Structure 1
Amino acid sequence: MAGEIAPSTALSDALVILGAAGIVIPVFTRFRITPVIGFILIGIAVGPFGLGKLIYEHPWLTHVTISDPEALAPFAEFGIILLLFTIGLELSFNRLWNMRKLVFGLGALELTIIGSCIAIVLSMMGQYWTGAIGLGLALAMSSTAIVLPISGTHTPVGRAALSMLLFEDIAIVPIIFLLGAMAPNAQAEGWEGLLDTLWKGGLVILALLVIGRLALPRLFAQAARTKSPELFLAASLLVVIGASLATAVVGLSPIVGALIAGLLIAETEYHGEVEAIIEPFKGLALGIFLITVGMSIDLATIWENLPAIALAVVLVLGFKTLVTGLLLRLMGARRSTAAETGMLMASPSETTLIVLAAATSALLIQPGTAQFWQIVTAIGLTVTPILAKVGRAIARRIDSAPELPPEYSEDPRVIVVGSGRVGRLVADMLTVHGKPYIALDSDADLVDRAKRDGYRVLYGDAARRDALERVGLKNALAVVLTMDEPVLVQRLVQKIRRQNPELLIVARARDTAHAAELYRAGASHAVPETLESSLQLSEAVLTDIGVAVGPVIASIHEKRDQFREQIRQEGALEHKPKLRTGPAEAR
């Protein structure tokens, strides 16, 4: 009998999850609301504190509720692992090294100051000091799973959030061992365990880096040559799960292994294909995680303790917003960036629940206290998308750009996204030929320098819906995307093309493979850096060895047109990312 019930239960749970995804994503996307709130509301409705309470009176509800919430925990954890893996794919070791001051400076300060202050306040309110430290560190953390999908990793807000979240993810293991060391009669064992984990974890990370550098390019080259999406997916999951298990076995968090796996694959030419093939699984697994968050919210308990819970939520969110914003201002961030990041990072995290569980098992806090703060954390996670919208609105008001001069406010012009080296050169050539332009950049320092040098540039994040509209996208002659950020460029091309089917879109591409992806996304022209440098080298050598300039320039133009047509045809073969067959094809 039990053997018949278990499969039925598993199938009904799967039906609820897939049904939730099928309803939540389209409906909330239609109304331009983040699906995060939808998944959490579904969790509240189908969980043990929602319709699950009524299954004894109405047995048919078992088919539309989650019968075993704990069974979803591994899938929720897998969602967070895949999230960190895709974050690694968007990063690189060079970018991570460049962020080291932010990660170990801003990140460490944010966690230490917020955790210490909350611990002091709780201690003054009567919580024993060891438990106050555990609660302070738990509540100081912010949600990687919710914050980064909202902020991205390429904007000033996204970079600041990423640096703090990376430090929190690194710090989770030492924090758990610290709580174990503070447990009654467990100090020595806790410190010994921490040291043991650190040296073993260091060896595992070193081994992953060496093996990954040597093996991953060969592994994905072989998978790509088979032209089998199934084998490519299997190789991707093998890498992320293997790296996560390797770090988990020695006591580190599995998300550390997932991040390292993503960083290693980001160094190969197959990172775009891996990201595309993993994306659907990440979205569904994160949806399961958010459903489990909703299932932990007991509306009856909240109602009974509403004043205390509401006060705790407001104080925690307000204090974290204030401290994070002040830290960012002290480190030179713009007021708008500091305000938006502070609001976005205000809520506690899914790792808060892990630290609360560790503090409870170490007898540092009582189960009732842990349950109270779990509810506060769940509410904080639920309102994070709302906080993000409020923070964005505040940032716009703080940093609203001045009205454009009359001669540029209505007339059609070229929009140049990016005011770095390439963006400036495009602006110079437009000026030489008398064509009006306006540049847009999300790097405040670049904007200030460009303005001082006489360029017409505004501060703004092109990834936001209203930024391009504010500089005249509707009447634009063309949009030129000059950033060296392949993933962001591709997303912007898709977004702009959906809104403006006839607009001229010229995009900078890293190589010919990236150019083909941009053509598939809707670019009018995609200019690969590798191709242009090769043509310029050819032009220089031909003219210097005595070939006439006219025929050389004509042949260069002809060869450029041939390459562009070839890349366009490659991009038109499929309307979805296709597997490349190896390094030779990318050339």
Structure 2
Amino acid sequence: MAAEASATALVTSPLVLLAAAVVAVPIFKRLGLGSVVGYLAAGVAIGPQVLALFGDPGAILHVAELGVVMFLFLIGLELEPQRLWSMRRNIFGLGSVQILAAGLGVGAALYYGLGTPWRVAVIVGAGLALSSTAIVMQMLEERGETRTPAGEKAFAILLMQDLAIVPLLALVTLVAPQTGETGDGFLLAAGKMVGAVVVVVVAGRYLLNPMFRFLAAAEAREIMTAAALMIVLGAAAAMALAGLSMAMGAFLAGVMLAESNFRHQLAADVEPFRGILMGLFFLSVGMTVDLSVITADWRLVLGGLIALLMAKFVTVHLAVRLFGGGRGEAMQVSALLIQGGEFGFVLYQSAAVSGAITERSASIAVAVTTLSMALTPLVVAAIDRLRPKPGEDSIEEDFSDVRGSVLLVGFGRFGQIVSQLLLANGTEVTIIDNDTEMIRSAARFGFRIYYGDGTRLDVLRAAGAERAELIVVATDGRETTDRVVDLIQAEFPNARLFVRAFDRGHTLSLKARNVEFEIRETYESALAFGRATLIGLGLDPDAASDLAEQVRQRDRTRLALQEAGGIMAGRGAMLTEPSKPAEPTPEPLIEPKRPSRALTIETESVARTEKVASGSR
């Protein structure tokens, strides 16, 4: 009977969780509050304080944290190391300023405004300075804003907050009374953390790609999925054992695999698990809401919540403005990061165990953090209405009448000329661009251009990428073009791709991606310009055309050699200016019988030394 009851519980618990999510999330999304609030509300309803369908939400929370881990892994897959390095100013500069400013601001509000003890103000202020990576990134993804300036600043701050886990745990140790932690112990812990980071980075750089190539040769799809999960969980476990965030380990593993040929396969394998576990995470956070604490200490909870929201909004806003963000962008980032973070739960528990704060203070801090999480979507919706509108620059994404057989992504200088040939042939073209000024200017000349970002999958699908006979990528800049090409090849593998290349290196990169056609953006115009220059010098037009074709053929040969041997190959195919003849070197008519030797002070000295030595013998 006991075994039968256990088996029944094993089935009913997931069933209750799934049913709660299926009922609540669509309702709250229909109300415009987002899926996160729906999950949190469902968690409160089925938690121990209301329906009491689950007695230990903490156990579910530990499992559900894997959703955040997998989410950070997927984010890492989208960030190549070079792009991550380009964000260093926002990560280390803006992120550090935000943590310090928000921690001091919230701590001061608690100490001076609510009269909390200084230890509580320091620790709770530090914990509330952090924000929820899970909630913020989920909202950015739902809103399609992960690649916007505001989205990238919010992500950079969240990444720095993950890195701040180590010093914040050290802060708890320093503040706690009668601490037994020694300086040597702290240095040992810091050394273990650095070692774990090095292990994850080295393994990701040198071991993972060969491993996945070996597994791919086995042609067992389920093994690739198992390997992907093993990498994510292994990196997370390594970081956790060293005292760092599990999410940080998964993120580093993702970054190390961002340039791998298996990147899209890994993302496809991990994505289903991430979605389910993220929902479970929000459900479990809702279940941890202690309504008895809220009712018993509602004044402190309400005061702490107001202090948190005001201090976080003001400090984040000022930090973003300090680092060059506009007013609207600063308001958006401030609204996204206004809540406390899930790491605060760990920090408060650690502080309570060490005696730095009381259990009651920790419970109030947890309640404030959870309520701030629940309020975040409402605050973001309110700020969306209040922040400066882009005015007439705002254009709605409307693809309801798309029907072109060719999809043209990018309508700049290059794309406009390409479209002229297609339209002259009577070809129906769907043109998308995200430059609102360009779209409005083109509309005055009779062009119908759809507003949309070609690096977003939903935009490409809405623009008809699945059914287009051919896709032309004419975007400005190598990075943007590569993102569009990678996305199309991953999601629409049968698409015929004609791509505008930035330079020679980009051409070789696109050839390696097996696009159907590519051309450097200035190549043919430079050849035409050179031909006109020769004619201007008096050369016959036909002879000038022949020379241009010779250069074109040499370039094709050189590209083929570079494809096989790297960028330095094929230099012999280039035409270079003839070198000047070397000055004639005088040579004797008859070779001397003994080789000559330059006689210098040094050689004279050596000769004298040898003579003295031989005389002594």
What's the TM-score once normalised by structure 2's chain length? Answer: 0.71
Is this contact kept in 2: 1:141–1:352, CA < 8 A? Answer: yes
> How far did residue 238 of structure 1 move?
0.9
> How far did residue 67 of structure 1 move?
3.9
Whole-angstrom distance in 2 between the partners of 1:126 and 1:32: 38
1:310 paired residue number: 302
Whole-angstrom distance in 2 between the partners of 1:135 and 1:40: 22
2:91 paired residue number: 103
Q: 1:323 aligns with which of 299, 315, 335?
A: 315
Whole-angstrom distance in 2 between the partners of 1:73 and 1:183: 27
1:41 paired residue number: 41
Q: Please, which moves more after superposition, 266-275 or 201-210?
A: 201-210
Q: 1:139 aligns with which of 112, 128, 136?
A: 128
Q: Give % identity.
A: 28
- Look up the equivalent residue of 1:252 and give its one-letter code: L
Is this contact kept in 2: 1:209–1:264, CA < 8 A? Answer: yes
Whole-angstrom distance in 1 between the partners of 2:326 and 2:252: 31
> How far did residue 261 of structure 1 move?
0.7
Is this contact kept in 2: 1:325–1:338, CA < 8 A? Answer: yes
- Look up the equivalent residue of 2:366 and give its one-letter code: Q
> How far did residue 167 of structure 1 move?
0.7
Alignment of 1:164-179 (within 5 A): 164-179=157-172
Q: Tell me which protein shows more helix as a share of its residues.
A: 1
Q: 1:347 and 2:336 equivalent? A: no
Is this contact kept in 2: 1:519–1:526, CA < 8 A? Answer: no
2:392 paired residue number: 401
Q: 2:353 aligns with which of 358, 361, 371?
A: 361
Whole-angstrom distance in 2 between the partners of 1:143 and 1:246: 22
Q: 2:109 aligns with which of 121, 128, 146?
A: 121
> How far did residue 290 of structure 1 move?
0.6
> How far did residue 45 of structure 1 move?
0.9
Cα distance change of structure 1 residues 305 and 204 upon mapping to structure 2, 3 Å threshold: closer
Cα distance change of structure 1 residues 512 and 112 upon mapping to structure 2, 3 Å threshold: closer
Cα distance change of structure 1 residues 142 and 320 upon mapping to structure 2, 3 Å threshold: same
Q: Please, which moves more after superposition, 120-129 or 289-298?
A: 120-129
Cα distance change of structure 1 residues 188 and 517 upon mapping to structure 2, 3 Å threshold: closer
Give the match's secondary structure for 1:297.
coil
Whole-angstrom distance in 2 between the partners of 1:226 and 1:528: 36
> How far did residue 207 of structure 1 move?
2.3
Alignment of 1:564-575 (within 5 A): none
Whole-angstrom distance in 2 between the partners of 1:215 and 1:94: 20
Q: 1:156 and 2:149 equivalent? A: yes
Whole-angstrom distance in 1 between the partners of 2:394 and 2:277: 44
Q: 2:459 aligns with which of 492, 501, 512?
A: 492
Give the match's secondary structure for 2:207.
helix
> How far did residue 243 of structure 1 move?
1.1
> How far did residue 194 of structure 1 move?
3.0
> How far did residue 185 of structure 1 move?
1.6
Cα distance change of structure 1 residues 46 and 295 upon mapping to structure 2, 3 Å threshold: same
Cα distance change of structure 1 residues 14 and 67 upon mapping to structure 2, 3 Å threshold: farther
> How far did residue 308 of structure 1 move?
4.0
Whole-angstrom distance in 2 between the partners of 1:32 and 1:495: 22
Is this contact kept in 1: 2:39–2:286, CA < 8 A? Answer: yes
Give the match's secondary structure for 1:252.
coil
> How far did residue 526 of structure 1 move?
6.2
1:294 paired residue number: 286
1:519 paired residue number: 492
> How far did residue 99 of structure 1 move?
0.9
1:252 paired residue number: 244
Q: 2:75 aligns with which of 63, 66, 87?
A: 87
1:477 paired residue number: 448
Cα distance change of structure 1 residues 224 and 393 upon mapping to structure 2, 3 Å threshold: farther
Whole-angstrom distance in 2 between the partners of 1:403 and 1:534: 34
> How far did residue 70 of structure 1 move?
2.7
> How far did residue 86 of structure 1 move?
1.2
Whole-angstrom distance in 1 between the partners of 2:241 and 2:299: 43
Is this contact kept in 1: 2:439–2:449, CA < 8 A? Answer: no
What's the TM-score once normalised by structure 1's chain length? Answer: 0.74
1:574 paired residue number: none
Q: 1:226 and 2:193 equivalent? A: no
- Look up the equivalent residue of 1:206 and give its one-letter code: V
Q: How many residue pairs were aligned? A: 498
Q: 1:19 and 2:13 equivalent? A: no
- Look up the equivalent residue of 1:137 and give its one-letter code: A
Deviations 1:64-84 (A, max 9, x none): x22432321221221111111
Q: Please, which moves more after superposition, 311-320 or 322-331?
A: 311-320
Is this contact kept in 1: 2:39–2:282, CA < 8 A? Answer: yes
Q: Please, which moves more after superposition, 222-231 or 155-164?
A: 222-231
Deviations 1:89-129 (A, max 9, x none): 11121111111111111110111011012223323343332
Whole-angstrom distance in 1 between the partners of 2:25 and 2:471: 29
> How far did residue 19 of structure 1 move?
2.5
Q: Please, which moves more after superposition, 281-290 or 9-18?
A: 9-18
Q: 1:184 aligns with which of 155, 167, 177?
A: 177
Is this contact kept in 2: 1:480–1:505, CA < 8 A? Answer: no
Is this contact kept in 2: 1:477–1:503, CA < 8 A? Answer: no
Is this contact kept in 2: 1:497–1:503, CA < 8 A? Answer: no
> How far did residue 88 of structure 1 move?
0.8
Q: 1:440 and 2:447 equivalent? A: no
